[in-house]
């Protein structure tokens, strides 16, 4: 187990288990979005006998520590990643890849504007998703 990864968990007060450390490592190293099932596929080879319910519980602990954020995508499952806070997602309709905007502040700005505009409603969760075509798929379409 890489020490740099367990250190991040320790600093956030997460009780370290092999499952949590490995899930965190997969998320942090890849910087990608995973469903709980995909994470399970990734880590079960290293941790035989691991139940998918343990993956969910580990993700919950990492989320509570502010290390991981979950996002709901339209018609898709919940995805998890090593990040914090609301951030917009761009989902390609052709290849299903998930992208981020260059500006990491934008999600916070939208959340801020919304919470100011809706005084009588306390926003606890916000998912910003745009659907469309990524540059790869746009190129493919024009070539065909
Ligand atoms: Zn994301
Ligand atoms: Zn695409």
Query: Are 85 and 65 within 8 A, CB to CB?
Result: no
Determine the pLDDT at residue 1.
Answer: 57
- 97 Cβ contact list (under 8 Å, min separation 6): 91, 134
Calculate how far, in angstroms, residue 136's C-alpha sits from the geometric centre of ligand 2.
Answer: 6
Q: How do residues 64-103 score in pLDDT, each as one tens digit?
A: 999 999 998 877 788 999 987 778 899 999 998 999 887 8
pTM over 0.85: no
Q: Which residues surround ligand 2, an ion (CB under 5 A)?
A: 92, 94-95, 134, 137
Average pLDDT over residues 9-16: 92
pLDDT category at 144 given cuts 50, 70, 90 is low
pLDDT category at 2 given cuts 50, 70, 90 is low
Determine the pLDDT at residue 44.
Answer: 94
% of the chain surpassing 70 pLDDT: 98
% of the chain surpassing 90 pLDDT: 57
Q: Which ligand is nearest to the CA of 73?
A: 1
Q: How far apart are CA 131 and CA 4, in angstroms?
A: 35
Tell which wins on pLDDT, 56 or 1: 56
Question: What's the token pair of residue 83?
Answer: 């990040």
> 91 by DSSP, 3-state: which?
strand
Res. 25: pLDDT tops 90: yes
Calculate how far, in angstroms, residue 101's C-alpha sits from the geometric centre of ligand 2.
Answer: 15
Res. 38: pLDDT tops 70: yes
Q: How do residues 97-120 score in pLDDT, each as one tens digit?
A: 999 887 878 888 888 898 888 888
Q: How far apart are CA 35 and CA 70, in angstroms?
A: 9
Query: Are 32 and 68 within 8 A, CB to CB?
Result: no
Q: How far apart are CA 98 and CA 131, in angstroms?
A: 9
């Amino acid at each position: 187990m890489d020490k740099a990864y367990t250190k991040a968990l320790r600093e956030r007060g997460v009780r370290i288990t092999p499952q949590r450390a490995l899930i965190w490592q997969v998320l942090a190293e890849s910087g990608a979005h995973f469903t709980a099932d995909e994470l399970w596929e990734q880590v079960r080879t290293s941790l035989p006998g691991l139940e998918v319910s343990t993956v969910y519980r580990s993700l919950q602990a990492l989320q509570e520590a502010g290390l991981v954020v979950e996002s709901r995508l339209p018609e898709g499952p919940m995805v998890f990643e090593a990040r914090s806070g609301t951030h917009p997602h761009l989902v390609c309709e052709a290849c299903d890849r998930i992208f981020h905007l260059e500006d990491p502040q934008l999600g916070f700005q939208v959340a801020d504007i919304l919470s100011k505009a809706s005084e009588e409603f306390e926003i606890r969760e916000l998912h910003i998703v745009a659907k469309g075509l990524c540059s790869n798929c746009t190129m493919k379409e024009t070539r065909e």
